[in-house]
């Protein structure tokens, strides 16, 4: 028998519109940076409905005990963690999550799954890569994809740099939807050069 509290929670979830993300435990992790912990809903043509949970952890905070989590930076860097939930209303399986990068100086690396963290038992990525050509961290679920009603394992990457928000996409075949999710800022010196370059261009235009 389901408890009264659980039945009420399930009833509320069933009444929520598809634009509202149905978050799992990663989205409420109290050890994540508050401004960069949450969930975002994706809707690609009403066929691919995905909730992407995310949390960014300050250096040394993400679990690294081999039981509750595995930080590939060994506590030295920020951990950018995500978990995808493909809603039961989806008619397509989720095959790719792509987290955008500001530029090629964000320090993003160590892209790996972490099947130990929070809600376990999810679909493991087929591959993960930091792609400096497309400026994105690409996580693919190809064998198998994440089915409707299913969810992925936690997948993550690390960076020495603090977070901002960048465009992030979910894909299935030709279907794609793009929202915003956490991503690292460029190295401070590089970010300063970008701002200076923009200022120079602006001054030239005014001249």
Answer yes or no: is 4 within a domain: no
Q: How many residues does the chain have?
A: 207
Answer yes or no: is 6 within a domain: no
- Give residue 102's pLDDT: 97
Answer yes or no: is 9 within a domain: no
Answer yes or no: is 93 within a domain: yes
Residue 135 φ/ψ region, left for φ over 0, alpha for ψ in the -120 to 50 degree band, beta for the rest: left
Answer yes or no: is 31 within a domain: yes
Tens of each residue's pLDDT in the chain, 207 residues: 333 333 333 333 333 333 456 568 999 999 999 999 999 999 999 999 999 999 999 999 999 999 999 999 999 999 999 999 999 999 999 999 999 999 999 999 999 999 999 899 999 999 999 999 999 999 999 999 999 999 999 999 999 999 999 999 999 999 999 999 999 999 875 444 444 444 444 444 455
- Give residue 188's pLDDT: 72
Phi, then psi, of 169 in degrees rounded to 5: -125, 150
Answer yes or no: is 176 within a domain: yes
Q: Report the C-alpha gap between 157 and 129 in whole angstroms.
A: 9
Q: Report the C-alpha gap between 71 and 156 in whole angstroms.
A: 9
Q: Which domain holds residue 133?
A: 16-206
> How many other β-carbons are positioned within 10 Å of the β-carbon of residue 37?
21
User: Are the C-beta atoms of residues 72 and 110 closer than 8 Å to each other?
Assistant: yes
Where residue 180 sits, what CATH number does that domain have? Answer: 2.60.40
Helical H segments across the chain, by residue range: 4-15, 188-206
Helical H segments across 82-170, by residue range: none
- The domain total for the chain is 1
Answer yes or no: is 50 within a domain: yes
- Give residue 21's pLDDT: 60
Answer yes or no: is 47 within a domain: yes
């Amino acid at each position: 028998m389901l408890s009264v509290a659980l039945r009420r929670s399930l009833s509320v979830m069933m009444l929520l519109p598809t634009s509202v993300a149905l978050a799992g435990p990663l989205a409420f992790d109290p050890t994540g940076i508050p401004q960069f912990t949450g969930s975002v809903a994706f809707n690609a043509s009403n066929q691919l409905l995905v909730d992407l949970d995310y949390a960014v952890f300050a250096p040394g905070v993400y679990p690294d005990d081999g039981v509750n989590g595995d930080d590939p930076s060994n506590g030295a860097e920020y951990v950018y963690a995500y978990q995808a939930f493909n809603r039961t209303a989806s008619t397509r399986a989720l095959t790719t999550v792509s987290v955008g990068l500001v530029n090629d100086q964000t320090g993003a690396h160590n892209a790996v799954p972490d099947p130990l963290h929070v809600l376990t038992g999810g679909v493991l990525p087929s591959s993960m890569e930091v792609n400096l050509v497309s400026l994105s961290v690409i996580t693919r679920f190809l064998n198998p994809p994440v089915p409707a009603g299913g969810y992925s394992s936690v997948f993550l990457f690390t960076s020495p740099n603090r977070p901002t928000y960048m465009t992030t996409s979910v894909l299935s075949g030709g279907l794609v939807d793009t929202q915003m999710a956490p991503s690292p800022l460029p190295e401070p010196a590089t970010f300063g050069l970008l701002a200076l370059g923009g200022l120079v261009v602006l001054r030239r235009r005014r001249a």
